Homo-oligomer: A and B are copies of this chain.
Amino acid sequence: MKKLMNAPGDFVDEALDGLTMANPSIVRDGENGRVIRRAEGARKGKVGVASGGGSGHLPLFTGYVGQGLLDTCSIGNVFEGPNVGSCMDAIKLANGGRGVLRLYANYGGDRMNFDMAGEMLEDEIRTTTVLGTDDIASASPEESAKRRGVAGIVYAYKIAGAKAETGADLDEVTATAAKAVAATRTIGVALAPCQLPGSAKPTFTLGDDDIEMGMGIHGEPGIWRNKLKSADEIADEMLDRLLAEAPKNAGSEVSILVNGLGATPLEELFILYRHASRKLTAAELTIVQPLVGNFVTSMEMAGASISLCFLDEELKSMLAAPAYCPFWRVG
């Protein structure tokens, strides 16, 4: 796969340069510039929300720094978690004096480094952790805490970010973020892989006519691999799997995110949305604030994910609250 890049080792830093040069609302900071923060800095008296993760997923992770969303985001190399120093910087730069929520997707390396960063700062800054665990294909319902975080983390960012803007304290922001994660389910389908900068091979291989249901955004194995089906059949299966895992206390309002993994045209996402939304209506669910687009990608990977966020009154109002980042604006 051909890439518009210079030296592979410069891929991440040059992309971060371009991202911040084009978007004056965010800036690079921290050790080696591997934290993106709001240009105006941490707001005194507001709980901070810090995230982090590997590069190669734009708009995730760094693209969600902005008002009503993240305060800071540490960023690693492509598909590698941020280092401990960057995680510490992200926490410090998010601190407005009322503590910091560490909100990131459940991957081993990210967890280890963020935990260590939190411990090293524990005398200075009170922190809590909420992990995105929305990928229903990555572990059974009984082990839902072991699930990976994928596109559904966007709901957690939006809802936690909005809660923090209300002036809520760290425990309240943490509880609301945890509620958002508990209310969110995602499943993906992969059509074609991506290739890491400088790598000789794609992240995985898939037959010319094959797709893989439930594959993770780094090519983690899914549920089945078989011939491509129609968009409606794929949407049916994805929705059936998501609805089978609806939270027990779920109400009748739901937000849906039909997310492109990178190379999949918007037209195809809207074809998926068309059928998925009818299916939700048939299940007597009311769609609130639907999202269709590329929110969480893996470079040029082809495929899509569907996330559902089951809303209560608080989650609904936090999702609708004003927010602004380079890639998304609400209200």
Contacts and interface: CB of A to CB of B under 8 A. Distances in A.
Interface of A: 2-6, 11-12, 14-19, 21-22, 55-56, 58-59, 63, 189, 191-192, 194, 208-209, 211, 228, 230-232, 234, 258, 262-274, 277, 290, 292-294, 297, 299-300, 302, 304, 327, 329
Contacts of A230: 5-6
Nearest to A194: B265
Given A58-B265, A267-B299, 11 more contacts: A2-B209, A2-B228, A12-B267, A15-B268, A15-B274, A17-B270, A21-B290, A55-B267, A194-B265, A293-B327, A294-B294
Nearest to A277: B21
Chain A interface, DSSP helix/strand/loop, else mixed: mixed
B277 A2 contact: no
A267 B302 contact: no
Contact of A18 (B11, B189, B262, B273): B273
A207 to B, nearest CB: 10
Contacts of A21: 273-274, 277, 290
Contact of A268 (B3, B211, B267, B290): B3
A14 to B, nearest CB: 5
Contacts of A270: 14-19, 22, 58
A192 B194 CA distance: 14
Contacts of A304: 4
Contact of A265 (B208, B262, B273): B262
Contacts of A327: 293
A265 B302 CA distance: 11
Contacts of A290: 21-22
A111 to B, nearest CB: 24
B4 A299 contact: no
Contacts of A14: 231, 270-271, 274
Contacts of A6: 230-232, 271
A15 B183 CA distance: 28
Contact of A59 (B15, B228, B266, B273): B266
| The 3 A-B residue pairs with the shortest CB-CB distance in the complex, in nearest-first order | A18-B270, A263-B263, A18-B274
Contacts of A302: 2, 263, 300
A292 B22 contact: yes
Contacts of A297: 265-266
A271 B4 contact: yes
A200 to B, nearest CB: 12
Contacts of A299: 265, 267
Contacts of A264: 4, 300
Contacts of A232: 6
Contacts of A189: 4
Given A21-B274, A302-B300, A267 B15 contact: yes
